[in-house]
Amino acid sequence: NAGVTQTPKFQVLKTGQSMTLQCAQDMNHNSMYWYRQDPGMGLRLIYYSASEGTTDKGEVPNGYNVSRLNKREFSLRLESAAPSQTSVYFCASGTGYTEAFFGQGTRLTVV
């Protein structure tokens, strides 16, 4: 029972490089989320998707794009990475009216 799976777990990028963080859930949830967590701080919502085919901005969307590929998968793309995007990224899924479950996180460093 995998739950929410994120890849990769760790990544180092150079400024200006692009990358995609992958997230997949096997709980048949409609809603999926991407958060970032900076050192010593809480989680801030980047983007969310209430259902397949829909995405909406969260609190800190600038510099990111997302794709809800199907019901299971929700990817986060950094087109041109900046040092300010160094953070731990969490993906989550839920139904909107019940518990949300989180992946293990991706630790991203931009140098």
The footprint of other proteins (CB under 8 A) covers 31, 33, 35, 41-45, 48, 50, 56, 58-59, 88, 90, 92, 94, 96-102, 104-105
Q: Closer to other proteins by CB, 19 or 100: give it.
A: 100
- In the complex with other proteins, which residue's Cβ is closer, 16 or 96? 96
* Least separation in angstroms between CB 89 and other proteins: 11
Residue 59: Cβ within 10 Å count: 11
Q: Going along the chain, which residue ranges are E strands? A: 4-7, 10-13, 19-25, 31-37, 43-49, 56-57, 65-68, 74-78, 87-94, 101-102, 106-110
**Minimum gap (Å) between residue 46 Cβ and other proteins:** 11
The nearer residue to other proteins, 19 or 88, going by C-beta atoms, is 88
**Cβ burial, residue 39 (10 Å; 0-12/13-18/19+):** exposed
> Rounded to the nearest whole angstrom, what is the least distance from the CB of residue 16 to other proteins in the complex?
27
Which of residues 17 and 40 has its CB atom nearest to other proteins in the complex? 40
Partners of 67 in beta bridges: 75
